[in-house]
Chains A and B, each alone.
Chain A
Amino acid sequence: MLGELTAETVANRNNVTTLGRADGPVMVFAHGYGCDQDMWRRLVPYFAKDYRVVLFDHVGAGHSDLEAYDREKYGALDGYATDVLEICEALDLADVVLVGHSVSAMIALLAAAREPERFARLILVAPSPRYTDDADDGYVGGFSDEDIQGLLESLDSNYFAWADALAPMAMGNPGTPEYAEELRSSICRTNPSIARHFARVTFLSDTRHVLPQVQCDSLILQCTDDLLAPAAVGSYVHRQLSHSSLVQLMATGHCPHVSAPEATAAAILHYLNPRP
């Protein structure tokens, strides 16, 4: 399936990082919109001892190869799913536990629908198959088309800040001195033009159709008070996805793996290794 691509090309394109226990079962982490693989930093330590952890940046984010950004390919989430499958093939990964946050939860479902045999479990953190409401069938995604237009305007307002890779405050940060300066200057770096296109693709996509196609065991992690993925959306995903479990986290907001890594890790580990 890689065709002309070599494993090395794929690894460079997506800035693939492998860590943890080399002979352990495989966990692949896919970051969501607006960030890069660094956002898993607080969660990964809970898995590195027992699992082989694979991290990567979507093309356009972090240290991925911006030259590889093809507006047509990445004009639909399926293009990102192709990359996930290519990473799995390039690294020859089997029985993968695929963790996807936010839009990447949907990318994970698209990948699993295309190559079911590749994946053992899916962990869907704050998933939403459609962010905008659908007047035709009464689906409530939480946002209107105008809201998404507003997001694109916000992105434009931040164009120059993003272009500078969000330079850190000159005065540093006395609150968390443990983080090195170079990390702060590189995290969540995004090319502004790509961020805008990815925003459109993410927030105007509708992947509800793929839910019934996926048979893989999956865990839905639903946050409390999540602007982007309200509780009703989590329940919808749970209903449409056979073999899925839904866990409601106490963590608030959209990024429980950042704000409450311990609780998030506990929920995932419990799902992967249930104690009798």
Chain B
Amino acid sequence: MTDTAGRPVANFETLFHQAPCGYLITDDDGHITAVNDTFVRWTGYGRAKLLGMKLQSLMPVGDQILYATHCIPQLGITGSVSEIAVDIIGSDGVRRPALLSASRFAATGQEPDSVRVIIFSAHERRLYEKELVSALRAAEESDARRALAEEELQRLALHDALTGLPNRAGLKARVGSIPAGAATDSPGEGNPLAALFIDLDHFKAVNDSLGHGAGDNLLVSVAGRLASAVQAPGAVARLSGDEFVVVDAVAGTEEAAALAARLLEVLAAPIHLEDLEIVTSASIGIAVAQGGDDTVEDLIRRADIAMYRAKERGRNRWELHRPAPSDPAVDRLRALGELRRGIGEGALRVHYQPRIDLHTGRASGVEALVRWQHPTRGLLPPSEFIAMAEESGLVRPLGAWVLDETLKLAESLRRDDRQGAGLEFAVNLSARQLNDPGLVDMVESALERRNMDPALLLLEITETALMSDPVAAVESLTALKNLGVGLAVDDFGTGYSSLTYLKKFPINELKIDRSFIMGLGLDTGDAAIVGSCIDLAHAVGIRAVAEGVETSGQAQTLQDMGCDLAQGYLFARPLTERRLREWLASHTWARP
């Protein structure tokens, strides 16, 4: 054999037979008409056996189906297929992973149609692809599982496990969006909302004498009666223990009172428990929206006050809450003036609550909590004034001050002695601060001023604040994250409990709301929620923190559930700077 210039060239037949992969020629149906030595050696069949055999018959059935439905038509239409993954079964019965490429040549003169096939051994590559595909499938499955978990958590978070009624969060989700004063587009057709706060009389006696099982049965039965006495869109919820709330649109106070009377009647029918006939009664407080901007929460709070009056006045009755005559606008202005003055005069304090690492039992850091030393009302917690500070914009200077105070303490602890090294400092951010364009600069300059390692600062944002403007929140959080500070979601479980944002926001920590921790050991529903939250945090690779831990039983349960950090009265109350130093000193045994 020679090339075009007449020089001898390599023997093409040798090239065919000794090629590093299998070469075959088949007819359109796959019957093998020629095969090279490499393929013969690789498969272990004799050449005579292979000739005339269908190439597909060397493949497992699954590959044959794919070959018949996909490759043959494609070969027929386009004339080629490339790198189809198939298994070739050798004479030893062992499958050999391979890649198959083929081209079809139409008949010319004497030559009939033929297909030229190349088969590469592809063991490594197929193994690799197999791993990729199974990883892909696993990811798809875990996505599906996470969606289920989210649904379940949502349900748990919004419902009371014992009675199946909505809990406080569930009630809020259902009626919270309706302005209580003028429910114009609600089915109440412009009627105001009323809240009826229902507390069973002498429920504790049932629990004490008949046991918790009987008490639970009683609650379930009461829940059923209330639910069937209130028609949609009215809502019935169980807040805790023997406290229920009904929220419904009413024409006025008379209708609300009539509803309360009907509920008392429904509850008065005897209930059979463990062969005993029990007659229950309840005390009901009623609050009807006055117009203006009452929220459902306000209504429930007022109804609660009225309920206590019903108890005082002899139980088994209802009382209407009548707000004391005052001008709320004037009250608000006065309070705001006091707060502004308080900030100016140094009446604000920062207290610090230690956070305990449940794995080691040691203090891992502290949470900074602001307090207002009010001239007449005493030491006020943030819940009494932060909302006002938010509305007025005072929260910005206040927040900056709290952060600086905290970092100042961090700096001094670090300088003073061994106590401070490695302690984490958690500081709360409000919704308004989160939306403040100056926030990131403020944090950055505070870090620089106090020479603080950003990794030891943790900023806590409530779930509700995050969700008020999620797009802006992602932006702010990402910028904060880039500074190197840690981020925590506070009060988790009280708002949307959406896992979607857990993935979206660059957070490091989930703080489970204290209301769920309180129920540990008392309420299986709460235990399920806490467990889910912890699992959830770990599933997305972040820490779970419990707040409001008050008993060693709760701490033990949390530890068993794998919770990472905890804080609460069990370990320490929020402490002044001086008391914190003492506390740390007396707990230094716990720090190496």
- A residues contacting B by CB (< 8 A) are 32-35, 38-39, 41-42, 102, 143, 147-161, 166-169, 173-176, 179, 183-184, 187-188, 203, 225-228, 252-255, 258-259
Contact = CB atoms under 8 A, between A and B. Distances in A.
Contacts of B73: 34-35, 39, 188, 255, 258
**Closest 10 interchain pairs by CB?**
A150-B62, A176-B79, A34-B69, A34-B70, A258-B76, A175-B105, A151-B62, A157-B85, A154-B62, A147-B61
A166 B74 contact: yes
12 contacts: A34-B73, A147-B65, A151-B61, A154-B60, A154-B85, A154-B86, A175-B104, A176-B105, A179-B79, A188-B77, A253-B29, A254-B72
B290 interface: no
Nearest to A192: B133
B82 A168 contact: yes
B64 to A, nearest CB: 6
Contacts of A150: 60-63
B106 interface: yes
A154 B65 contact: yes
A154 B63 contact: yes
Contact of A158 (B28, B29, B66, B116): B66
B65 A227 contact: yes
Interface stretch (B34-42, B124-132, B159-167, B523-531): B124-132
B76 A259 contact: yes
A188 B70 contact: yes
Contacts of B130: 156-157
Contacts of B77: 38-39, 41-42, 179, 187-188, 258
Contacts of B62: 147-155
Given A158-B66, A169-B101, A255-B72, 19 more contacts: A38-B77, A143-B61, A156-B133, A157-B85, A157-B129, A159-B136, A161-B83, A168-B80, A173-B79, A175-B80, A184-B78, A184-B80, A188-B73, A225-B29, A227-B64, A254-B69, A255-B76, A258-B77, A259-B76
B69 A35 contact: yes
A34 B83 CA distance: 16
Nearest to A170: B82
A154 B86 CA distance: 7
A187 B105 CA distance: 18
Contact of B85 (A158, A167, A188): A158
B103 interface: yes
B64 A168 contact: no
A73 B60 CA distance: 31
> Interface extent on B, as a size class?
35 or more
Contacts of B28: 253, 259
Contact of B74 (A147, A151, A187): A187
Contact of B78 (A34, A102, A160, A168): A168
A228 B69 contact: yes
Nearest to A35: B73
A176 B74 contact: no
Nearest to B118: A169
A166 B79 contact: no
Interface in B54-100: 56, 60-66, 68-70, 72-74, 76-87, 97
A173 B106 CA distance: 11
Contacts of B86: 154, 157
Contacts of B61: 143, 147, 150-151
B108 to A, nearest CB: 10
A247 B421 CA distance: 88
Given A143-B61, A147-B61, A173 B103 contact: yes
A183 B78 contact: yes
A259 B106 CA distance: 12
Contacts of B79: 173, 175-176, 179, 184
A188 B74 contact: yes
A158 B82 CA distance: 11
A161 B85 contact: yes
A159 B133 contact: yes
A168 to B, nearest CB: 6
A105 B73 CA distance: 17
A26 to B, nearest CB: 24
A190 to B, nearest CB: 8
B76 A254 contact: no
B85 to A, nearest CB: 4
Contacts of A225: 29
Contacts of A254: 68-69, 72
Nearest to A228: B68
Nearest to A258: B76
B103 A169 contact: yes
Contact of A173 (B68, B78, B129): B78
Contacts of B97: 157
A156 B133 CA distance: 7
* Interface core residue of A38, A39, A176, A203 (most chain B CB under 10 Å): A176
Nearest to B79: A176
Contacts of A35: 69-70, 73-74
Contacts of B70: 34-35, 188
Nearest to A155: B66
A166 B82 contact: yes
Contacts of B64: 227
A39 B68 CA distance: 13
B78 A176 contact: yes
A41 B78 CA distance: 10
A34 B414 CA distance: 68
Contacts of A42: 76-77
A160 B66 contact: no
Interface string B498-519: 0000000000000000000000
Contacts of A157: 85-87, 97, 126, 129-130, 133
A251 to B, nearest CB: 10
Contacts of B83: 161
A174 B106 CA distance: 10
Nearest to A190: B70
B66 A179 contact: no
* Interface core residue of B60, B72, B73, B81 (most chain A CB under 10 Å): B73
Interface string B101-120: 10111100000000010000
Contacts of A41: 77
Nearest to A142: B61
A180 to B, nearest CB: 10
B78 A179 contact: yes
B82 A167 contact: yes
A176 B104 contact: yes
Nearest to A255: B73
B69 A102 contact: yes
A43 to B, nearest CB: 11
A38 B77 CA distance: 8
A144 B60 CA distance: 13
Contacts of A252: 29
Interface in B259-311: none
A168 B74 CA distance: 11
B410 to A, nearest CB: 51
